[in-house]
Amino acid sequence: MPARTTMSPPLPLTSNQGVALSDPLNSLRAGTRGPTLMEDFLLQEKITHFDHERIPERVVHARGSAAHGYFECTRDCSDWTRAAFLSKVGLRTPVFTRFSTVVGGAGSADTPRDVRGFAVKFYTGEGNFDLVGNNIPVFFIQDAAQFPDLVHAVKMEQDRGYPQAASAHDTFWDFISLMPESMHMVMWAMSDRTLPRSLRMVDGFGVHTFRLVDAQGVSRFVKFHWRAALGVASTTWDEAVKIAGADPDYHRRDLWESIDRGDFPAWELALQVFDEETAASLPFDVLDATKLIPEELVPLQVVGRMVLDRNPDNFFAETEQVAYCPAHLVPGIDFSDDPLLQGRLFSYTDTQLSRLGGPNFHQLPINQPRCPFQNFQRDAVMQTSVPKGRVNYTPNSLAPEGPQASPEHGFKSYPAPTTGTKVRQRAESFGDHYSQARQFLASLTAPEQRHIVMALSFELGKVTVPTVRTRVLGHLAVIDGGLADAVAERLGQPGPAAEAVPAVAMPPRDLPPSPALSQLASRAGGLAGRHVAALLTDGTDDARLASLRRALAKAGARLTLVAQKIEGVRLADGTAQRADQALAGAPSCLFDAVVVIGSENGVAPLLNNPAALDWLRDAWRHLKAIGLDMAGALLARAAGVPTDEAVVVLDTRRGLDTFVQQAAKGKHHAREGAPGTDH
């Protein structure tokens, strides 16, 4: 007989002052039907706390998802920087990484066309380092003075409070049409990069040029790049719209569930390191945040790897209260004179003071350094520590055991020489607004270029002021005449008039294409980390289902079983197979590739089922690989789905292998323009 285990009694439910509650479900009242009494201090405490649960949401990047993990150094970078976390191969540094949309509020959907924030807090042994960037390597503006205007323009319009989480409206494009410097970023924003398939499948960029400083005080410039181990993948526009309706938490759920099942997302950290002479030789200014450095000019060098392996324990305490700031540096990393970066150094700290209530936000557990920290800062809102002693100033002679300056190991700003008169003026080297926009477009594959035309046509089609559309078309004509003509044709209006083009400060140049800028040419991944759905019917061949499971598991893909009812189906061998999801709640837009397997009798109820027919029609429209056995082929015929090389018959093992190969290619862009697809 097993030994009896003694369970500890549950802990008492208490107030915040430690008073045990006898009945937390009823307020104190005068008689069972009488008035509630003001003396019910327990009710007051509970309601007061509830009323103050929310803090001001971020003005931008409000919709976020995050995870814990670690960064592992794989290259000794001490020849570039004294930063310890980059200078010891094998050293693991804890991190907390937050991804976010920019425009929408905290309750908006995950999948709008938008830039994604990519912020990493390194808890290093020398203090916290925050690398706060985006999944796009450039930005809309060159100077922080314009940031409030940019955000005001792209957020909900002032009088009507909409649209939410969208740039397809008058005020955004009015602002952009008057800002030639935004043209490079506009090309990126209208590209597939702003419709990510998953937060696990986005690259990240520090955007700005920073400095690395070595132990001898020698400075080099650096650009930070995160490269997703799974590659970069995107949805189509129609797919993103339908996902927003079917699962507005699509990206948040995907990140959480992947970590929860042990499928940990990972990124390489790569650096572009270059000296002052190289910077001076480049055909653009490295202090201009609207420019990037093509990898062909300064190659990427991989120095480490980040793995996210633990979900937050509490969304509010961690994901919502985490406070990132570009001014959080460690010795060996320093700023450049990028004017947008310089403004962010103030803005982020000021934002945290507003959101988190005061200067002690660093004491929140998610923001605390993991190394010892001590100083003579005292008091203020949210002070949770209890400093001891009479001394709260430096220098002092009354507390010789207290913290002291560390000339040898402390942070030292790089002594960059600076001269000049006080001016509110841009450098002439910031004046080329079109060359890199043209280069980006020329570097993309034909499908990616088509998608930019489609995106611009949709966005400008939402603009109600004709002169705004005309001004934008004028900018597009400077970038590429064919691009402007294609967008104008889709809008049904004549090409841009010459007078609509603003004065060009610096004529654009034809820079050589950079294939690394194309996600299809250089960053498309395989089937690992992707999600495949199999729609089953009664009579499904159990051996075929088992083979499908094995093949997808070998490729590193996740399989979800879908059936008309959540109870599932009965397989050909008579066994019951429960479904993971019911058809009505699992549209094909939620998956990367789809399969239909069953029997002729089993598929018959689906042949007139709108959800089943749309399941395959959408998979076709969204350019996905489709696997069909004979029963699946009947459903495809009923849905009017044609065949191509990515529609694969699964009746043989070779057919299954072919399906896996086609699914690993990602979107089947050769299908675009066929009946039933977008073009």
The residues assigned a catalytic role are: 61, 134
Give the separation between CA 154 and CA 99, rounded to whole angstroms: 19
> What's the Cα-to-Cα distance from 630 to each of 236, 561, 594, rounded to whole Å?
29, 18, 15
Q: ∠396-399-404 over CA atoms, to 5°?
A: 70
Burial class from Cβ neighbours inside 10 Å (0-12, 13-18, 19+) for residue 216 reads exposed
Short-list 442, 513, 529, CA closest to 232? 529
Short-list 212, 272, 210, 209, CA closest to 87? 212
Give the separation between CA 347 and CA 147, rounded to whole angstroms: 10
Contact (CB, 8 A) for 440 and 449: no
Give the separation between CA 20 and CA 6, rounded to whole angstroms: 23
Contact (CB, 8 A) for 253 and 637: no
CB atoms within 10 A of CB 330: 23
Burial class from Cβ neighbours inside 10 Å (0-12, 13-18, 19+) for residue 420 reads exposed
Short-list 158, 258, 270, CA closest to 199? 258
Give the separation between CA 596 and CA 11, rounded to whole angstroms: 51
Contacts of 451 (CB under 8 A, 6+ apart): 190, 191, 192, 237
Give the N- to C-terminal CA distance of the chain in Å, as an integer.
Answer: 71
558: left (phi over 0), alpha (psi -120 to 50) or beta: beta
Torsion, CA 643, CA 645, CA 651, CA 652, rounded to 10: 170
Contact (CB, 8 A) for 195 and 236: yes
User: Is the bond into 395 cis (omega within 30 degrees of 0)?
Assistant: yes
Contact (CB, 8 A) for 433 and 290: yes
> What's the Cα-to-Cα distance from 109 to each of 277, 290, 455, 459, rounded to whole Å?
45, 28, 19, 18
> What's the Cα-to-Cα distance from 211 to each of 119, 120, 321, 332, rounded to whole Å?
18, 18, 28, 8
